[in-house]
């Protein structure tokens, strides 16, 4: 029997049952079946079919890719908020500046608080005694007066003259109060900015 298996190759267990009563005709059929099987296997080796295991993996991959609404990362959220807050600050600056200039105007003309030069309302700026970087007094009427470009920009607010005139007009207490207001800690909330914008928008002509 050993030489028989050597000649035809060992068949699978199913075929083995049929071989037992081995007649010559049976052996021929089995030989053909085995050869065919070998050929198919050789072809498969040459043109490998995709394994079913891989397909399963692909399916789970597709499931993972199923549409899920992408949530914004905290950084992206912050960027959007920051952008809109900045836009609100800019808008509030615009209305507040116009309000200050109109408040101190007389017959369409405004006097520079620090050099007393008279100018038209759209040629003058809104000067801050304490810098605009202190948000606590950025939109504080006590802290702002109209100033020409020369005093506000080139003389950086003409601080000595500004201070001198504020004391002349309102006294030391006014300056102290302004100092207290400057040192307050403020949190720039968008709701606050929106309310302020509405307030000054209604006050300007
Ligand atoms: Zn001036």
Shared domain check, 189 and 125: yes
What is the model's pLDDT at position 168? 96
Q: How far is the CA of 149 from the centre of ligand 1 (A)?
A: 7
Band (pLDDT 50/70/90 cuts) for residue 43 is confident
Assigned domain for 126 exists: yes
Mean pLDDT of 84-88: 90
Question: What pLDDT digit, counting tens, does each position of 88-132 carry?
Answer: 999 999 999 999 999 999 998 999 999 999 999 999 999 999 999
Question: What pLDDT digit, counting tens, does each position of 3-35 carry?
Answer: 454 545 555 555 554 555 556 776 676 676 677
What is the model's pLDDT at position 38? 72
Q: How far is the CA of 166 from the centre of ligand 1 (A)?
A: 15
If you write DSSP's letter for every residue of 109-136 in order, what string do you get?
EEE-TTT--EEETTT-EEEESS-TT-TT
What is the model's pLDDT at position 31? 72
Shared domain check, 11 and 110: no
The position carrying tokens 């509030």 is 92
What protein residues have CB closer than 5 angstroms to ion ligand 1? 112, 115, 148, 151
Q: How far is the CA of 195 from the centre of ligand 1 (A)?
A: 31
CB 178 within 8 A of CB 130: yes
Q: How far is the CA of 108 from the centre of ligand 1 (A)?
A: 17
Between helix 74-103 and helix 190-203 the angle, nearest 10°, is 20
Mean pLDDT of 163-179: 96
What is the model's pLDDT at position 103? 95
The CA–CA distances, whole Å, from 114 to 108, 138, 174 equal 19, 19, 17
pLDDT at 79 over 90: no
Mean pLDDT of 184-204: 93
Shared domain check, 117 and 20: no
Q: How far is the CA of 157 from the centre of ligand 1 (A)?
A: 9
Q: How far is the CA of 132 from the centre of ligand 1 (A)?
A: 18
Q: If you average pLDDT over every residue of the chain, what do you get?
A: 82
What is the model's pLDDT at position 36? 72
Q: How far is the CA of 155 from the centre of ligand 1 (A)?
A: 9
Assigned domain for 17 exists: yes
Shared domain check, 27 and 98: no
pTM of the predicted protein model: 0.60
**CA 92/CA 171 separation, integer angstroms:** 29
Q: How far is the CA of 112 from the centre of ligand 1 (A)?
A: 5
Sign of CA dihedral 51, 53, 54, 55: positive
Range of the structural domain that residue 195 is part of: 85-203
The total number of structural domains that make up the chain? 2
SS3 146: strand
**CA 164/CA 172 separation, integer angstroms:** 10
Q: How far is the CA of 148 from the centre of ligand 1 (A)?
A: 4
Shared domain check, 34 and 89: no
Q: How many CB atoms lie within 10 A of CB 70?
A: 6
Band (pLDDT 50/70/90 cuts) for residue 72 is confident
Q: How far is the CA of 113 from the centre of ligand 1 (A)?
A: 7
Band (pLDDT 50/70/90 cuts) for residue 164 is very high
Lowest mean pLDDT among 53-57, 123-127, 142-146, 157-161: 53-57
pLDDT at 39 over 50: yes
Segment holding 202, helix H or strand E: helix 190-203
Q: How far is the CA of 199 from the centre of ligand 1 (A)?
A: 28
Shared domain check, 39 and 108: no
Q: How far is the CA of 5 from the centre of ligand 1 (A)?
A: 113
Which of 114, 116, 110 has its CA nearest to residue 97?
Answer: 110
Band (pLDDT 50/70/90 cuts) for residue 68 is low
Integer-rounded Cα radius of gyration of the chain = 44
Assigned domain for 109 exists: yes
Q: How far is the CA of 158 from the centre of ligand 1 (A)?
A: 8
């Amino acid at each position: 029997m050993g030489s028989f298996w050597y000649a035809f190759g060992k068949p699978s267990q199913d075929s083995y049952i049929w071989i037992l009563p081995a007649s010559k005709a049976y052996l021929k059929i089995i030989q053909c079946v085995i050869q065919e099987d070998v050929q198919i296997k050789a072809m498969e080796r040459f043109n490998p079919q995709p394994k079913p295991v891989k397909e399963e993996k692909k399916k789970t991959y597709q499931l993972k890719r199923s549409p899920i609404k992408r949530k914004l990362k905290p950084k992206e959220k912050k960027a959007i908020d920051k952008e809109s807050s900045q836009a609100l600050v800019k808008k509030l600056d615009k209305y507040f500046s116009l309000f200050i200039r109109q408040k101190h105007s007389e017959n369409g003309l405004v006097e520079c608080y620090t050099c007393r030069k008279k100018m038209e309302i759209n040629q003058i700026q809104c000067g801050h005694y304490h810098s605009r970087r202190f948000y606590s007094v950025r939109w504080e009427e006590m802290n702002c007066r109209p100033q020409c470009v020369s005093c506000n920009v080139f003389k950086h607010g003409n601080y000595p003259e500004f201070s001198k005139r504020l004391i002349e007009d309102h006294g030391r207490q006014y300056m102290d109060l302004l100092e207290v207001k400057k040192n307050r800690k403020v949190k720039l909330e968008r709701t606050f900015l929106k309310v302020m914008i509405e307030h000054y928008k209604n006050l300007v002509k």
